[in-house]
Structure 1
Amino acid sequence: MNISEVSKAVGVPQETLRYYEKIAILPKIDRSKGGLRKYKQSDLEWISFVKTMRTVGTPIDSLKEYYDCCNKGNISECKAFIEFQKNELELKRNEIETALTILNEKIKIYE
């Protein structure tokens, strides 16, 4: 797939894909003889992961550390990162659930 197709498929702007490649948060993207990017399925999966993690607020620096860790094959560090992110999201979920409960109570006042 080319950059335009990937952008549409995963919902990430082409400029963002180029930026992620520039800061080395993506695997090395193959190029055609003409220099056009040629993305593989594994690239799309990684981009989707990065997009999801960015959507929930994971800093780019953290994702870069995770990417570097994965490339070094340090499984224990990679697992620790994923566990930390999971715990952070569970805390956020609890905060959101509390806020929703309060908002639902407020809505009842107006009914």
Structure 2
Amino acid sequence: MLIAEVSKKFDLSQDTLRYYERIGLIPRVNRNKSGIRDYTEEDCRWVEYIKCMRGVGLPVEILIEYVGLFQQGDETMDARKELLIEQRKQLKTRMEDMKNVLERMDYKIARYEQTIVEKEKTLNRPQN
């Protein structure tokens, strides 16, 4: 699959895909006879994985470390697992923080709605 197709499939710019490859977020992609990147299914799985992890805020540095460990082979499984456990813990904390902010926003919105309704009632009240 050519870079333009991968870009469209995953809604990532071609520049982003090249950048991910250059910094080691995705393993080096093979090229066809014309020198154009030719993504395999496995390459696409890496793109999908990285997009997913970046989408929830995992730092680039952590993902580079993870990919590097993966490329070293099975002897790094424990290290990869620990890395993911730590990131999962941090993600859960961020999710709880976001939940609290969402509740606070809901409260504020409800207060604004209540104030607006009360103000409209006052403005629409017949004057004697």
TM-score for the superposition, normalised by structure 1: 0.92
What letter corresponds to residue 53 of structure 2 in structure 1? M
> Equivalent residues in 2 for 1:47-86 (5 A)?
47-73=47-73, 74-86=76-88
Structure 1 unaligned residues grouped into runs of 5+? none
Q: Which amino acid aligns with 2:77?
A: I
TM-superposed deviation, 1:49: 1.4
Deviation of the 1:89 alpha carbon: 1.0
SS of corresponding position for 1:38: coil
Aligned residues: 111
1:28 is displaced (CA, Å) by 2.1
Q: Does 1:32 align with 2:29?
A: no
Unaligned runs of 5+ residues in structure 2 are: 115-128
Q: Percent identity?
A: 35
- Could you tell which deviates more after superposition, 3-12 or 101-110? 101-110
Which digits, 9 at most, give the CA deviation of each residue in 1:53-97, with x for residues without a partner? 222222211111110011112000111111111111111110011
Higher relative contact order (CA 8 A, sep 6+): 1
Aligned counterpart in structure 2 of residue 93 of structure 1, from 79, 87, 95: 95
- What is the CA–CA distance in structure 2 between the aligned matches of 1:90 and 1:104, rounded to whole Å? 21
